């Protein structure tokens, strides 16, 4: 995937693999793939897997963190809404009570 994976630490691929198929190349036009010996590929795969695991773990951490943050805000907003609704009911009760008293005052004397 990533073309800049360092392979320089490996022994040169031509030394073991590239040298053997080289004579065959001339006969049937087959061209050996150079630079991708098994060890390098294995190393690349491990490296990629590591990066992938790290990225996946990072993403899950991010999702959790952002999810918790915004659900906290939402939770608080819901608490506020519930309180507001309760105050509304209280206000309505107060209104009714005042009206009742007003009627009584009109009827009374």
- Residues in CB range of 76: below 8 A, 6 or more apart: none
Distance separating alpha carbons of residues 32 and 20, to the nearest angstrom: 9
| Residue 96 lies near other proteins (rule: CB under 8 A) | no
Q: Give the total of residues touching other proteins (CB under 8 A).
A: 30
What sign for the dihedral angle of Cα 49, 54, 60, 62?
A: negative
78 near other proteins, rule: CB under 8 A: no
State residue 2 phi and psi, 5-degree precision.
Answer: -90, 115
Would you count residue 49 as binding other proteins (CB under 8 A)?
no
Question: For residues 39 and 58, which CB has a smaller minimum distance to other proteins in the complex?
Answer: 58
Residues contributing to the site for other proteins (CB under 8 A):
54-55, 57-59, 61-62, 64-66, 68-69, 72-73, 76-77, 80, 83-84, 86-91, 93-94, 97-98, 101
């Amino acid at each position: 995937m990533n073309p800049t994976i360092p392979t320089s630490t490996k022994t040169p691929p031509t030394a073991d693999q590239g040298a053997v198929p080289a004579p065959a190349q001339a006969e049937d036009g087959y061209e050996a793939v150079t630079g991708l010996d098994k060890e390098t590929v294995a190393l690349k795969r491990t490296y990629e897997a590591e990066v992938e695991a790290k990225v996946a773990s990072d993403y899950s951490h991010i999702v959790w963190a952002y999810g918790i943050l915004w659900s906290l805000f939402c939770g608080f907003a819901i608490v506020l809404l519930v309180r507001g609704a309760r105050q509304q009911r209280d206000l309505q009760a107060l209104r009714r009570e005042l009206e009742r008293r007003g009627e009584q005052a009109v009827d009374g004397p």
